[in-house]
Amino acid sequence: MPIRRSLKRRRVDDGSGTIAESNDGERSASPLMSLQREVSPPPAKTVAEQRRTALGDEPKDRAKDEGAKERESSSAATKFMPTWTWPAVLATDKPGKVAKAPSESKTGPAETSRSEEQGRPTPRGGQNPRAKLIASPIQLTRIRDLPPSHNVDTVSLRDILGHPLLKECWQFNYLHSIPWILEHFDADVRNLVSLKVVHGFWRNDDGRKQSLQEQADAAVRSGARVQLVAAHMPEMFGTHHTKMMILFRHDDLAMVVIHTANMIEQDWTNLTQAVWRSPWLPLLTHDGGHERDDDDKGEAEAEDEAYEIGTGQRFKADLVRYLKAYESRTRTLVRELRRYDFSSVKAALVASAPSKASLDGVQATKTTAFGWPGLKQILSRIPAGVTAARNTPVVNVQVSSIATLTEKWIHNLQDVLAAHAKPPSADRSTAKPKYHIIFPTAAEIRNSLDGYASGASIHMKLKSAAQQKQLQLLRPMLCHWDGPGHDAGAATGAAREAFRSRAAPHIKTYVRFRDSACSEIDWAMVTSANLSQQAWGATQDKDGLVRISSYELGVVVWPDLFRDDDGGKVMMVPTFGKDTPAHDAARDDVRGVVGFRMPYSLPLVPYRKEEVPWCNSDTHAEPDWMGVVWNTSEGQM
């Protein structure tokens, strides 16, 4: 019998605008998980300790784990290999079994022997050595307990925040650990960087707000420059779920970072996350149109111009419009961003902010609407690829939370995701896509790197009759995150391996593939938005209004954004284990091929009839690989 520990839960907000039973850092700000230890924990920082850090409760005299600091540095990524974790974790695929200690594993994990080159899409038309290879605009975050071979082209928080010329940092998020964020600034400028923390905890009696204030006060006393900014939260069930950083440097460069992780340690260690980064943006030149440092009126007039969706100017206008939803709280930030040149940005911004608006009131040529109406605007500008009559495009929706939804809402979102630019001729297929929803089961959570602890970040309720009805509606679309058979498939080259099967998903991706082979991508989106009405907006009410409760932010990318000036064709392909595609993925008729880094392996594996999604409000008595069981209390539900 495995030695058991128990994880206890408490009632908290799930971070997507619905109330959930969870102990995840994104969902609560009091000590979220109680570990009743009957065995010694592994040498890595425990989940409880990580969350105490997020709450500012780290003991003052605690010595800094130099090993952890080394793991955060980008230079250490190619050297560091934990001695206790990944071999033990990867050595077993059997649910509920405790992995052997590393010394007992004679051959090591099966995954480590796989070639990173395995599982490329079948070449179509042979190699095209003339095609320009473009790295994925999306990167995955580094996973602490996976080996370097599984962390190729990944990004750490220190890679983002560690520049010695950093001057100012705006952090928009649901959860923040201020001391932990400060650790990732360059040590020489740590107390010189102006850190603005934008959160959604507005009630003075909210323990999460009180904790943030205590963290900020302690940081200021130690010499840091920290300021809290409480977002305008007019909706009762809305959350400030956006995950964005805006960075300014002393050499007059700025960067926008849109990602999927909370600013707490657990989210940046063993959970799968994604990051989109703009290029470093220069200041506008003095002849840059209406833009002038001292002329807000002229800047506003410039933002009122019509820019094509996908251009840097449209991205800037949409970002400024989103930031204006915070009202006076972000006025200085808006004024500063107006000074920068966004022309190098190759993405469309899809945002949500608390609002209630009519679709008829949106000036589609000038601004992008919030929520699902805005997403539909964007997708309606993107051409769909040519599809053979016998084949069907596929949309993969991969999220970490699924709220209780109506059938009408689900069908409306499907219609939104099916939108595309009108085909130029009748021979282009307009077939509606097939939909998949990628979501882990309890077995996948048990075997993840953090075991049941990672399940606190993942939400779907299955208790009520309405939730059971929803499950039956979604069941034909449900697919595994870590599908049975992926290991065997990768060994034979039949699977395309992402090397993230054991890193539980907090990432949110929506991808349209051209056909069922999933070898070519029409568009891809990374966002903070899960499947919920609060995030994307409700369906139109009787007055034609769409109500949105939460703040969310994401980016959409598609092949045409990466065309050169000569207008040659560009295709987008999924990449696995690295960011840059190979020449053999390029068709003969294209001038360029851009990768999109996949967080999950292909082909997808559908749920079997008896399988259900992970539900963290259920008790799971079968131990995870570390011997932990997941307990719930009926009195707390």
Residues in binding site for substrate? 243, 508
Distances (CA, A) of 37 to 7, 527, 609: 10, 36, 36
Residues 496, 259, 224, 341, Cα dihedral to 10°: 120
Pairwise CA distance, residues 313 & 290, whole Å: 12
At 112, list the tokens: 């480590």
Half-sphere exposure of 380 (CA within 13 A, CB side): 12
Crossing angle of helices 407-418/371-379, nearest 10°? 30
Instruction: Decide: 515 and 388 in contact? Cβ < 8 Å.
Output: yes
At 339, list the tokens: 């000074």
Phi, psi of 333 (to 5 degrees): -65, -45
Which residue ranges make up the annotated binding site? 243, 508
Half-sphere exposure of 401 (CA within 13 A, CB side): 31
Pairwise CA distance, residues 132 & 122, whole Å: 19
User: Do strands 166-172 and 194-199 pair parallel, antiparallel, or not at all (unpaired)?
Assistant: parallel
Radius of gyration of the chain (CA): 24
Q: Which of 150, 176, 241, 620 is catalytic?
A: 241
Nearest to 85 by CA among 269, 253, 361, 219: 269
> Would you call 486 a catalytic residue per the annotation?
no
- Overall size of the chain counted in residues: 637
Please give the distance of CA 606 from its chain centroid, rounded to a whole number: 22
> Would you call 232 a catalytic residue per the annotation?
no
Instruction: Decide: 88 and 100 in contact? Cβ < 8 Å.
Output: yes
DSSP assigned state of 79: T
Instruction: Decide: 441 and 475 in contact? Cβ < 8 Å.
Output: no
At 279, list the tokens: 């290029």
At 424, list the tokens: 């130029």
DSSP-assigned beta bridge partners for residue 547: 356
Report angle CA 178, 208, 456 to the nearest 5 degrees. 90
Residues 98, 103, 106, 110, Cα dihedral to 10°: 50
Please give the distance of CA 42 from its chain centroid, rounded to a whole number: 27
DSSP-assigned beta bridge partners for residue 358: 545
Which residues 6+ apart lie within 8 Å of 324 measured at CB?
330, 334
Catalytic residues: 241, 506
